[in-house]
């Protein structure tokens, strides 16, 4: 066995072992799993000037896997993950491009000093409000979008993540071995892009269990038709996905559910045996995955 092949096998063994600690493991088979969006949307392109004065856009890196990282110098979790991002960029420099977009931090001299101190080896620019909104508002830092070689957003991560998760996703998209790791796909119901919140059948902090199927459908329609008044400029459904701590959207959806539940009820069809199970909604963070607490933006 060649030395390179031997190292690759050691890497894959360690990779599988580490993934098992923070990626969802199906009850029927203890196998680590990563998940990508089914039928992913094209990543919104942008044209910015990097802090070294060069033009920066996604189109410049067509054919590469891209990790688009929104961060700030004042964000503790961001500072913690940057050395791992630097290492990933160095390891997969020919196939991966990390891009850093700075949010709520416009002191360019301080940012340049930070870049030099941490040895950041990938392009960095200050995100405009337009770019931030194109990617769903970016309500927490760090937030990273994984973009495949075709320029489509296949996953989104908020908060500090184990760098092994990023690496196995990158390797999978590059067609490299990922050991005993399963790859699943899921339908985006607002977790990646808020515009898809109308696909959601459940929303964070909203109890629909007392509604009939017809009432539940009516509730979801109202959540997607009515705007939240907290100032976020999103629908109630989008706000519940974007900011689970928003009391305005929480109370508004609660009132809609209560009003529908108090109305004429339609008899329920007998629930199938599996209806008592509560699977993790598509795109939700599995309970076994333990991200660091992200910094919330307001």
20 vs 93, residue with greater confidence: 93
Asked if the model's pLDDT at residue 112 lies above 70, the reply is yes
* Structural element, H or E, at residue 133: helix 129-134
Decide: 246 and 200 in contact? Cβ < 8 Å. Answer: no
pLDDT band of 126, cuts 50, 70, 90: very high
DSSP structural state of residue 152: B
Give the pLDDT mean for 88-99: 97
In whole angstroms, what is the distance from residue 100 CA to residue 124 CA? 5
Going by C-beta distance under 8 Å and a sequence separation of 6 or more, which residues neighbour residue 247? none
Average pLDDT over residues 194-205: 90
pLDDT, tens only, 242-291: 788 899 999 999 999 999 999 865 444 454 544 333 433 444 343 334 45
Q: Tell me what pLDDT residue 298 has.
A: 54
Residue-range domains of the chain with CATH: 3-186 (3.40.30.10), 194-268 (no CATH)
Q: What percent of the chain has pLDDT over 70?
A: 78
Output b/e per residue, 201-227; b: 16+ Cβ within 10 A: ebbbebebeebbeebbebbbebbbeee
Give the least confident one: 62-71, 180-189, 265-274. 265-274
- Is 277 exposed, middle or buried, given 0-12, 13-18 or 19+ CB atoms closer than 10 A? exposed
Question: In the predicted model, is pLDDT for residue 12 greater than 50?
Answer: no
* Local structure of 222: helix, strand or coil: helix
Question: Residue 17 pLDDT > 60, yes or no?
Answer: no
- The strand order across the sheet containing 65-71 reads 124-126, 96-102, 65-71, 143-147, 153-158
- Crossing angle of helices 76-91 and 108-118, in 10° steps, is 50
Instruction: Please check the confidence at residue 73 and state whether its pLDDT lies above 90.
Output: yes
pLDDT of residue 195: 87
For position 296, what pLDDT does the model report?
60
Residues with Cβ within 8 Å of 145's Cβ and at least 6 positions away in sequence, in order, are 43, 66, 67, 68, 135, 153, 155, 156, 192
Rounded to 10 degrees, the C-alpha dihedral 101/102/106/110 comes to -110
* pLDDT the model gives residue 247: 94
Residue 150 has pLDDT above 70, yes or no: yes
Query: How sure is the predictor about 294, in pLDDT bands with cuts at 50, 70 and 90?
Result: low
Examine the pLDDT at 35 and tell me if it is beyond 70.
Answer: yes
Q: Indicate if the pLDDT at residue 139 is higher than 50.
A: yes
Task: Please tell me the predicted confidence (pLDDT) of residue 52.
Answer: 93
Does the pLDDT at position 186 exceed 80?
Answer: yes
Which band of pLDDT confidence, cut at 50, 70 and 90, is reported for residue 297?
low
Distance separating alpha carbons of residues 102 and 120, to the nearest angstrom: 13
């Amino acid at each position: 066995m060649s030395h390179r092949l031997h190292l690759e096998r050691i890497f894959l063994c360690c990779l599988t072992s580490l993934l098992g600690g923070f990626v969802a493991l199906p009850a029927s088979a203890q196998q680590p799993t990563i998940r990508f969006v089914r039928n992913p949307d094209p990543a919104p392109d942008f044209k910015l000037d990097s802090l070294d004065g060069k033009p920066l856009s996604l189109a410049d890196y067509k054919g590469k896997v891209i990790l688009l990282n929104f961060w700030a110098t004042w964000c503790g979790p961001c500072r913690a993950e940057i050395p791992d991002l630097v290492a990933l960029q160095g390891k997969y420099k020919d196939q991966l491009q990390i891009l850093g977009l700075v949010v709520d931090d416009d002191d360019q001299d301080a940012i340049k000093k930070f870049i030099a101190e941490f040895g950041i080896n990938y392009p960095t620019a200050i995100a405009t409000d337009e770019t931030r909104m194109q990617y769903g508002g970016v309500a927490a830092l760090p937030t990273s979008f994984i973009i495949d070689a075709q320029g489509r957003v296949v996953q989104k991560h908020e908060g500090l993540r184990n760098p092994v998760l990023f690496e196995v996703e990158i390797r999978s998209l590059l067609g490299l071995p990922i050991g005993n790791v399963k790859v699943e796909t899921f339908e985006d119901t607002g977790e990646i892009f808020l515009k898809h919140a109308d696909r959601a059948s459940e929303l964070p902090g909203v109890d629909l269990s007392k509604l009939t199927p017809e009432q539940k459908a009516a509730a979801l329609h109202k959540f997607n038709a009515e705007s939240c008044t907290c100032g976020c400029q999103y629908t109630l459904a989008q706000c519940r996905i974007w900011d689970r701590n928003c009391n305005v959207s929480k109370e508004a959806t609660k009132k809609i559910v209560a009003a529908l539940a108090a109305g004429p009820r339609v008899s329920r069809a007998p629930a199938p045996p599996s209806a008592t199970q509560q699977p993790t909604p598509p795109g939700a963070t599995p309970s076994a995955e333990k991200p660091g607490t992200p910094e919330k933006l307001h």
